[in-house]
Homo-oligomer: A and B are copies of this chain.
Amino acid sequence: MKTTSIVKVSKAEKSKLEQIDFDNLVFGKTFTDHMFVCDYKDGKWQTPEILPYQALTIEPSAKVFHYGQAVFEGMKAYKDEAGKVWLFRPEENFQRINKSSKRLNIPEFEEDFFFEGLNELLKLDKDWIRSGQEAGNALYIRPFVIATQPGVMASPATEYKFMIICCPVQAYYTKDVRVKIADYYSRAANGGFGAAKAAGNYAGQFYPTKLVQEEGFDQVIWTDDTSHEYLEEAGTMNIFFRVNDKLITCPTSDRILDGVTRKSVIAMAEKLGIEVEVRKVTVKEIIEAAENGSLKESFGSGTAAVISPIGTIGYKDKTYDLVKPEDCYSAQIKKGILDIQYNAAEDPFGWRYEVK
Q: A35-B60, A153-B28 are in contact. Are A198 and B190 (CB under 8 A)?
A: no
Query: Is B29 in contact with A206, judged by CB distance below 8 angstroms?
Result: no
Cα-based distance from A116 to B81 in the complex (angstroms): 61
Cα-based distance from A31 to B61 in the complex (angstroms): 9
**Which residue from chain B places its CB closest to the CB of A183 in the assembled complex?**
B191
Total copies of this chain within the assembly:
2
The contact sample of 29 A-B pairs, CB cut-off 8 A, is A27-B153, A31-B61, A35-B60, A56-B60, A58-B58, A60-B163, A61-B165, A64-B65, A64-B70, A65-B199, A66-B142, A67-B202, A68-B203, A68-B204, A69-B206, A103-B204, A103-B207, A104-B204, A147-B203, A152-B165, A184-B191, A186-B189, A186-B192, A187-B192, A189-B189, A196-B204, A198-B203, A225-B225, A225-B226
Cα-based distance from A104 to B204 in the complex (angstroms): 5
Q: Is the interface of A mostly helix, strand, loop or mixed?
A: loop
Contact of A189 among B58, B61, B225, B236 (CB under 8 A): B225
Q: Does A105 contact B (CB under 8 A)?
A: yes
Q: A27-B153, A65-B144 are in contact. Are A192 and B165 (CB under 8 A)?
A: no
Q: Contact string, A123-147, partner B, CB cutoff 8 A, digits 1/0?
A: 0000000000000000010101011
A291 to chain B, nearest CB (A): 26
Chain A 168-187 residues near chain B, CB threshold 8 A: 182, 184-187
Chain A 183-220 residues near chain B, CB threshold 8 A: 184-193, 196, 198-204, 206-207, 210
Q: Does A285 contact B (CB under 8 A)?
A: no
**Which A residues have a C-beta under 8 Å from some C-beta of B?**
27-29, 31, 35, 53, 55-61, 64-70, 72, 102-105, 140, 142, 144, 146-147, 150-156, 163, 165, 167, 182, 184-193, 196, 198-204, 206-207, 210, 225-226, 235-236
Q: Which residues of B contact A200 (CB under 8 A)?
A: 68, 198-201, 203-204
Q: Which residues of B contact A189 (CB under 8 A)?
A: 186-190, 192, 225
A319 to chain B, nearest CB (A): 22
Contact of A65 among B102, B146, B196 (CB under 8 A): B146
Q: Which residues of B contact A151 (CB under 8 A)?
A: 28-29
Query: Is B55 in contact with A55, judged by CB distance below 8 angstroms?
Result: no
Q: Which residues of B contact A53 (CB under 8 A)?
A: 60
